[in-house]
Structure 1
Amino acid sequence: MSTTELTHGWAGARSGPVTVVLHGGGPGCHAASDFAALMALRPERRWLWVDLPGYGGSPARDGEPASQPAVAAHALDELLTRLGCGPVDVLAQSLGGTVALRLAAERPERLGRLVVIGSQPTPAPAGRSGVRRDPGLGGRARAQYYGGTGPSPDKMRALLTELEWYNADLVPEATVAARYLASTTPTVPAAATAPALASDPGTDPGAVAAPTLVVWGSHDPFGGPDYANALADALPRGDLAVIGRTAHHPQAERPATVAALAEAFFTDWS
């Protein structure tokens, strides 16, 4: 197994408890960009942002499929060991949240509290069927973005406005540019061509002992608030917050709201 270190960096305070930030699995997703606005709102917190294998500056691991939560969870575990981080809180979106839940189930001593945004770690939480979700949407979006004439800023803007933001008029040009650039770096081909996983069959939410806040955009096209409610119920210490007028990336579209929810959960929520 390759031990290539994940690209990572620090933001906010120079000392204090560490909060790990993990991004989602869409084209061009990477932690420093996807959570930039939110981290800037809480400069007193010590942030450790991490790019998962095959995203941002982190290469995919040799001989291992990109975007696999088990692979990414193991890589994150290795990174935290090398950095000497004790139990850390985690703020994560979509794929990143699934990775965090996997690590929390396998290595509970690693993690403190989790805030997971738009994550779908299992097809039917607690066996609850009939919840609204579109497990093929990520794969279709990736194929459309990388297919045909290949990536472009216009295709990136379409992806953001159709899937990730509720209010298309608010998507900043800087976000489009950053995501497009990150979607075309030498590190991303493996993730670009790998199957998009909507869930992780190896993770049992019932095995996650960590207090976990599930955050959901009410207009998330990947799954409805009914899925989020089922997931929160399946987690032994799960809570739920649904944000109106928001799609799949509330941490970017509504950073102040998500920052306030996360801070309250990390510090005050009992």
Structure 2
Amino acid sequence: MATEAAVPAHERVGAATGPVTVVLHGGGPGCRAASDFAAVLALRPERSWLLVDLPGYGGSAAPGAGPRVEVAARALLGLLDGLGLDRIDVLAQSYGGLVALHVAAAASERIRRMVLVGCVPTPAPGGVPGLPVDTGLGARLRADYSGDGRPDRDRMRALMAQAEWHDGTAVPETLVEARFRADRSAAGVEGALEDLGEHLAAVAAPVHLVWGRHDPFAGPAYATALADALPRADLTVLAATAHHPQSERPDTVAALVDAHLGS
């Protein structure tokens, strides 16, 4: 895989030394690793984290021409090359998980272990038909939020309450504000994502899937099929949780990161 794509914005937090865990955010409006995973990062300051804004998000340039996930994967590899990071761990959510899986399949030597949260890389992992997956939900959420060109904080709060949190009344106003301020709906990140089904068998890294039982994008049956389709995967399903367990259940997610990536 070539690495000529623009290097994405990034920052290092936590410990200055030790194994590096790359954090990749989801694909919703205003998503960033720094805000989406803020609660987990605060619980584990002793880890060495590399927070990455994927193309079209946060401080990163809009994505270049080409398949969206592949372009983001090239950008991530370019960043790792520039920082001299030959082998990393990954903590990623949703869209960020697709990017991580693409890198893991194409350059398996670069990724040691991954924790992927609510990641839907293909409609039918392992060819299993009829799984509970809503491939059009992301587009509908974006349309409700900014389809008329008038996004606001109330719409951002409604999006997060509808899809990302099981208890929509518990969404912190600070997180709503961070997401709204970081929103770049005009950056050209909309559009269909690649189907990565044919790449799953090439993912050699051990993967731990973390899933909200009430994730509206895909249910636990989908998560089970995805775990079976990956060569080395385990699955944890969290009750009373939706698409963003890292925000809704940060203590549990941090513990799972420690268990899978090492403390």
TM-score by length of 2: 0.95
Distance 1:61 1:2 in 2: 12
2:231 corresponds in structure 1 to: 236
Give yes or no for the alignment of 1:266 onto 2:261.
yes
Could you tell me how far 1:150 is from its partner in structure 2?
1.6
Summarize the alignment of residues 26-37 of structure 1 with structure 2, pairs less than 5 Å apart.
26-37=28-39
Could you tell me how far 1:101 is from its partner in structure 2?
0.5
Q: Which runs of 5+ in 2 are unaligned?
A: none
- The answer to whether the 8 Å contact 1:151/1:184 transfers is no
Work out which of the residue numbers 32, 40, 50 in structure 2 matches 1:38. Answer: 40
Cα deviation per residue 1:145-198 (whole Å; 9 max; x = unaligned)? 11125210000000000000011121110000000111148xx5211xx2143x
Identity across matched positions, percent: 56
Could you tell me how far 1:62 is from its partner in structure 2?
3.6
- The answer to whether the 8 Å contact 1:27/1:183 transfers is yes
2:19 corresponds in structure 1 to: 17
- The answer to whether the 8 Å contact 1:2/1:62 transfers is no
CA RMSD of aligned residues (A): 1.6
- The answer to whether the 8 Å contact 1:122/1:204 transfers is no
Give yes or no for the alignment of 1:47 onto 2:45.
no
1:83 corresponds in structure 2 to: 83
Q: Which runs of 5+ in 1 are unaligned?
A: none
- The answer to whether the 8 Å contact 2:108/2:203 transfers is yes
Structure 2 letter corresponding to 1:228 = A
Summarize the alignment of residues 37-186 of structure 1 with structure 2, pairs less than 5 Å apart.
37-64=39-66, 68-184=68-184
1:200 corresponds in structure 2 to: 195
Distance 1:69 1:184 in 2: 18
- The answer to whether the 8 Å contact 2:132/2:218 transfers is yes
2:188 corresponds in structure 1 to: 190
Work out which of the residue numbers 240, 246, 255 in structure 2 matches 1:251. Answer: 246
Structure 2 letter corresponding to 1:11 = V
Q: What is the number of equivalent residue pairs in this alignment?
A: 261
Cα deviation per residue 1:107-149 (whole Å; 9 max; x = unaligned)? 0011010111000111111111111000000011111111125
Distance 1:246 1:196 in 2: 26
Structure 2 letter corresponding to 1:12 = G
- The answer to whether the 8 Å contact 2:4/2:74 transfers is no
